Structure 1
């Protein structure tokens, strides 16, 4: 029989002290390991991530600077034709492109209003850029003969056109069933046939020079249709299709085509709209009053032209979502448009 003495085994207090010591050593080693890892992370952040971040910001800033310089060189001294330049977006585009140093040709139906715009631009001085007194050409886009004569006058006066901005247009309000065909024709003549007639008249000279830029001010309604805007939406759909085709066909001649599709703009477009019987609508819609300012959209047009963008959608969240909804979920889009038509009918009836 073997007798085990109590002293042969450590006491409970000694075991506890030993275990506590081991735990302290383990935690100390973990802490030191974490400290090392933290130090390595800080070294990686300071030596790699931060320099990479600042480098990316610097590259982006340099890219924007080069982009701005290229845009400035592209627009300086460029001959720019703007239709519908007497008011609204056309007038604001005239201000923006004039300030950029372009040689403007302002087009419209009212000679006195065109001269008023010229007078306003003449009072604006730009110490950083040389500005030029605009030239004016009076004609009606809905009259094809006057459009062709205007193109000849522009080329005769300035020799060539660098940038053509097809801005002039007319809006429409009315039900399809009540709209006389002459109203549909009037809207199409102004919004579609007029701009493409002017484009076709100036295009050969651009092809000959292998240089030019054609801009179409379309609309969100060139992508989607909303109730009681049939003639207007149809004309803008046609505009979108024509200039998309043109872009593909003239790329071989180094000619750029840009389509701008604004949403609601604070202009007199709705007030000057024609109705189903051809009379003036005479009301500024709530959506129009809450839209973007013409000056804001004009700046977008200037930047889009300077950067040679192919297409720009200038609209709020709802119209932009509607464009995508029309393509991704057409059944829901059609249902929403039907509900909108019902609400508008009720509002007019009350």
Structure 2
């Protein structure tokens, strides 16, 4: 899909991959709506984006709260007629065992990573279907392809996204509304610092693997190229992507690796 002139709503746009994607979309001429919880972070992203595009509106939103999403949607409708591209990028990760993670934290992860994403999709989808054009981009994870230690609820949310959006893609294929899953591996962002522990407090530690990950701007360029090329799924990672192949071709080896490997390296 062509980016120039399209109205694009980017969630999680205050930092990390979302910020980097927003900037790349601005460079390609997209008209942006930027959402996240942090107004300060969004305004920082907005300042950069406005160097490249004429529109970069800030709409503060908490994807874990249905009322916040509906208020944000009201603001979006007052600003634009239709959202051409939705970038569902908001998310939180986890650094805790399944046994120690409280149900409140498990639900929080699902609200942010899964329910928030599908609520936004259901809001923009009718407009896309009416104009028979649209693109929904969803940031999944390698953890949505295979399980890993200390990622149980996070992996569950990403597996759920994979299933939901593969189904949606099939349903809208003949109506010119496309869906692309982005499957990042280790990207150099602060996601491990802000990931939640068993009781919901922030981890405040950078994973060694994260420190050596792919730069966020490199990831963002691949995402934008994927949109332009009408891709259905793109995997952005280093050698860790081999685990997908191992999981399906040699599951016994995957089980052994997953049981023994330190989850944070």
Listed one character per residue, the Cα deviations across residues 307-347 of structure 1 (whole Å, up to 9, x for unaligned) are 11000111112x2211011111111111111112xx569x9
Q: How does 1:49-128 map to 2 (within 5 A)?
A: 74-122=2-50, 124-125=51-52
Q: Does 1:199 align with 2:115?
A: no
Give 1:168's match in structure 2, choosing from 90, 95, 100. 90
Q: Does 1:291 align with 2:219?
A: no
* Structure with the largest fraction of strand: 2
Give 1:321's match in structure 2, choosing from 242, 261, 264. 242
Question: Aligned partners of 1:149, 1:89: CA distance in 2, in Å?
Answer: 24
Question: Aligned partners of 2:222, 2:208: CA distance in 1, in Å?
Answer: 23
Question: Aligned partners of 1:95, 1:329: CA distance in 2, in Å?
Answer: 40
**Alpha-carbon contact 2:98-2:150 (below 8 Å) kept:** yes
Listed one character per residue, the Cα deviations across residues 105-147 of structure 1 (whole Å, up to 9, x for unaligned) are 000112222122212223x35xxxxx21301111100001221
Question: Aligned partners of 1:148, 1:251: CA distance in 2, in Å?
Answer: 27
Query: In the TM superposition, what is the alpha-carbon distance from 1:221 to its structure 2 partner?
Result: 0.7
Q: Determine the structure 2 residue equivalent to 1:333.
A: 254
Question: Aligned partners of 1:230, 1:77: CA distance in 2, in Å?
Answer: 40
Compare relative contact order (CA 8 Å, sep 6+) and give the higher one, 1 or 2: 2
Question: Paired residues, what number?
Answer: 265
**Alpha-carbon contact 1:166-1:215 (below 8 Å) kept:** yes
Partner SS state of residue 161, structure 1: coil
Q: Give me the CA root mean square deviation.
A: 1.5
Question: Aligned partners of 2:49, 2:24: CA distance in 1, in Å?
Answer: 10
The 1:209/1:344 distance shift into structure 2, 3 A limit, reads: closer
Q: Determine the structure 2 residue equivalent to 1:188.
A: 110
**Alpha-carbon contact 1:148-1:197 (below 8 Å) kept:** no
Question: Aligned partners of 1:180, 1:216: CA distance in 2, in Å?
Answer: 26
Q: Determine the structure 1 residue equivalent to 2:190.
A: 268
Partner SS state of residue 177, structure 1: coil
Question: Aligned partners of 2:44, 2:184: CA distance in 1, in Å?
Answer: 26
Q: How does 1:210-225 map to 2 (within 5 A)?
A: 210-225=132-147
Q: Does 1:235 align with 2:163?
A: no
Runs of 5+ unmatched residues, structure 1: 1-70, 126-130
- Could you list the runs of 4 or more consecutive aligned residues of structure 1 that deviate by over 2 angstroms after TM superposition? none
Question: Aligned partners of 1:116, 1:315: CA distance in 2, in Å?
Answer: 27
Q: Rg: which structure is higher?
A: 1
Partner SS state of residue 160, structure 1: coil
Query: In the TM superposition, what is the alpha-carbon distance from 1:213 to its structure 2 partner?
Result: 0.3
TM-score, structure 1 normalization:
0.73
**Alpha-carbon contact 2:150-2:263 (below 8 Å) kept:** no
Listed one character per residue, the Cα deviations across residues 245-296 of structure 1 (whole Å, up to 9, x for unaligned) are 0100011211010000000111110000000111110000000001100000
* Structure with the largest fraction of helix: 1
Partner SS state of residue 34, structure 2: strand
Question: Aligned partners of 2:6, 2:55: CA distance in 1, in Å?
Answer: 13
The 1:304/1:221 distance shift into structure 2, 3 A limit, reads: same
Partner SS state of residue 255, structure 2: helix
